Amino acid sequence: EVHLVESGGDLVQPGGSLKLSCEASGFTFSQYWMAWVRQSPGTGLECLALINSDGSDKYYPDSMQGRFTISRDNTKNSLYLQMNNLRADDTAVYYCARDVKWGMFDSWGQGTLVTVSS
Amino acid sequence: DIVMTQTPLSLSVTPGQPASISCKSSQSLLHSDGRTYLHWFLQRPGQPPHLLISEVSSRFSGVPDRFTGSGSGTDFTLRISRVEAEDAAIYYCMQGLFFRTFGQGTKVEIK
């Protein structure tokens, strides 16, 4: 069974940094693209970053402005999201998801909460 | 950037009645490989989203056949033939051709 577990969410001050992790199990992690998706309180879903199976290609929406960096370690079956210069509007639940192909997010973690506040 | 527009944003449905959600994209989602990368997700309160339908009309594993996806190009529809209580959720369409972009979501309430 596919299992994704996010961790690293915390309360952080504006301007601070945080690194989220997603540990994968139940499938051959190195064969799949992965994604980070967030959901701000009471709002919809936003895809933040994609990474291909070997980590050589990374994709972000223009709106991220280079503050977030996705990475992975296939030896540890782990996905990461480095977030810098955090703002109040980055407060959200952050999910990792397996991207089977072209956005077919067939498995999601339970999410980790990031709160940006002074 | 691709914009995904869902309508309505909410609807209230009597059990046993049908429901329909529209999703329109600002650009065609038809890839040169002939496939259209438009997917539907469902999110119940307090839960992560989960995949409902992929590539316009393919039901994901375990999804009841009362859920049907259709459409092409820029216009897509999710239909529930006979709504059940467990269908109360927020439904999102998402395009996978140009990065990944979700619609705003449609909240389905059961009367």
CB within 8 Å of B54: residues ≥ 6 apart: A104, A106, B39, B60
For A31-83, write each residue's pLDDT tens digit: 999 999 999 987 889 999 999 999 999 999 988 778 999 999 999 999 999 99
Contacting residues of B for A106, CB less than 8 Å apart? 51, 54, 60
Contacting residues of A for B51, CB less than 8 Å apart? 104-106
Which pLDDT belongs to residue B35?
Answer: 97
What is the average per-residue pLDDT within B51-57?
A: 98
For A76-111, write each residue's pLDDT tens digit: 999 999 999 999 999 999 999 999 999 999 999 999
CB within 8 Å of A82: residues ≥ 6 apart: A17, A18, A19, A68, A69, A70, A71
Phi/psi of residue B31, each to 5°? -85, 160
Nearest-angstrom CA–CA distance, B77 and B24: 9
Contacting residues of B for A105, CB less than 8 Å apart? 39, 41, 49, 51, 94
Nearest-angstrom CA–CA distance, A90 and A40: 7
- Residue A13: pLDDT above 90? yes
For B58-98, write each residue's pLDDT tens digit: 999 999 999 999 999 999 999 999 999 999 999 999 999 99
The total of other beta-carbon atoms located within 10 Å of residue A48's CB is 23
Query: What is the distance in angstroms between the Cα of A99 and the nearest Cα belonging to chain B?
Result: 10
A58 to chain B: closest CA residue:
B99
Interchain proximity A102–B1, CB inside 8 Å: no
Buried/exposed code over B40-58 (b: 16+ C-beta within 10 A; e: otherwise): bbbbeeeebbbbbbbbbbe
